[in-house]
Amino acid sequence: MDDKTRVPSEITPDQWTWNVKVDPPFHKKHFNANLVKYHDRVMGQDKLRVFVPLCGKTLDMIYLSERGHGVVGLEFSQIAIEDFFAENDLTYDSEKLDGKPFVRYAARENNITIYQGDLFDLSSEVCGDFDASWDRGSFVAINVSTRAKYGRLMSNLIKPSGKILMELYQYDLAKCTGPPHYAEEKDLVENFTEFQVRMLSEFVVVDSPPYYSGDDFQLGVALLSH
Ligand SMILES: C[S@@+](CC[C@H](N)C(=O)[O-])C[C@H]1O[C@@H](n2cnc3c(N)ncnc32)[C@H](O)[C@@H]1O
């Protein structure tokens, strides 16, 4: 699309605004429609170990847990994590990991675990590896300068034969420097060098975030196979 020379915003994890009273605009009070649409095709009927990077307090973790998967989220914000458990009537055990910059929260009532810490400190040594990942608002949320590092991290975390289901956005770059950051298929091919990349859907116009003026904000869905 337009003006690819504009420099995308760069932010640190603590600059994501989580507030105890007001939900951030990216949080949705329903299951993600693309997760529901593509779940069976991508994750089948198997009981998988599924990673939800930059999970916030997404209800998609409940959806995945209800399909029988073991769900592992990763999030920097303690507010988001505590809200997630409280709002879903879950209690948890929490534990600071020895010698690692993470606190692990494990729900008592189901198979959801959330690691609190910085995504880029994570490795399979901390959290094990995964059969699949649901990436809504993670690849497009990280700084563009860290995309290759993210691709390498996912190679470390996703098992051979594992998959990543991912949402991508395209929009007029003159109107928004992100996040969410603009991404297309070639950005995935360049940064996930150990994965096969395939678009599952064309980009289609969706409601734009409140800070974006225009009716050309588009969403597409990709599948990455390890
Ligand atoms: C766009 S939101 C997406 C939330 C969630 N996936 C959803 O669908 O609602 C990005 C989230 O990632 C968290 N975050 C951003 N950078 C992070 C990092 N480096 N490590 C851990 N969490 C991070 C933010 O606090 C925020 O909750």
**Structural domain contains residue 181:** yes
Q: How far is the CA of 68 from the centre of ligand 1 (A)?
A: 24
The pLDDT of residue 208 is above 90? no
Please tell me the residue having the least CA distance from ligand 1 atom 11: 54
Q: Is residue 10 part of a domain?
A: no
Q: Whole-number mean pLDDT of the chain?
A: 94
Range of the domain at 53: 25-225
Pick the residue whose CA is nearest to atom 16 on ligand 1.
13
pLDDT reported for residue 214? 86
Atom 10 (ligand 1): residue with closest C-alpha?
A: 54
Per residue in 23-76, pLDDT (tens digit) is 998 999 999 999 999 999 999 888 999 999 999 999 999 999 999 999 999 999
pLDDT tens digits, residue range 182-194? 999 999 999 999 9
* SS3 readout for 57-81: CCCHHHHHHHCCCEEEEEECCHHHH
Q: Does residue 116 register a pLDDT over 70?
A: yes
Residues in the chain: 226
Mention every residue, 6+ apart, whose C-beta is less than 8 A from residue 53: 73, 74, 119, 133, 135, 138
Within a domain: residue 102? yes
Q: At a CB cut-off of 8 Å and minimum separation 6, what does 177 contact?
A: 6, 7, 8, 9
* Residues paired with residue 224 on neighbouring β-strands, in sequence order: 164, 197
DSSP state letter for 225: E
Predicted pLDDT at 9: 87
Using the mean position of ligand 1's atoms as its centre, give its distance from the Cα of residue 110 in Å: 22
Q: What is the pTM of this model?
A: 0.96
Answer yes or no: is 204 within a domain. yes
Query: Does any domain span residue 86?
Result: yes
Give how many domains the chain has, as a whole number.
Answer: 1
- Taking the centre of ligand 1 as the mean of its atom positions, its distance from the CA of residue 141, in whole angstroms, is 7
Say if 7 falls within a structural domain.
no
For ligand 1, is residue 83 a contact (CB within 6 Å)?
no
d(CA 146, CA 78): 23
CATH of the domain at 124: 3.40.50.150
For 141-184, the pLDDT digits (tens) are 999 999 999 999 999 999 999 999 999 999 999 898 889 999 99
Closest to 138 (Cα-Cα) out of 123, 157, 151 = 151
One-character DSSP codes across 94-152: EEEPTTSS-EEEEESSSSEEEEES-GGG--HHHH--EEEEEESSSTTTS-GGGHHHHHH
119 in ligand 1 pocket by Cβ < 6 Å?
A: yes
pLDDT tens readout for residues 1-15: 445 556 788 998 888
What is the predicted pLDDT for the residue at 213? Answer: 86
Which pLDDT value is given to residue 2?
A: 46
Q: Whose CA is nearest to atom 13 of ligand 1?
A: 54
Q: Judge if the beta carbon of residue 80 lies within 6 A of ligand 1.
A: yes
For residue 76, tell me if it sits in a domain: yes
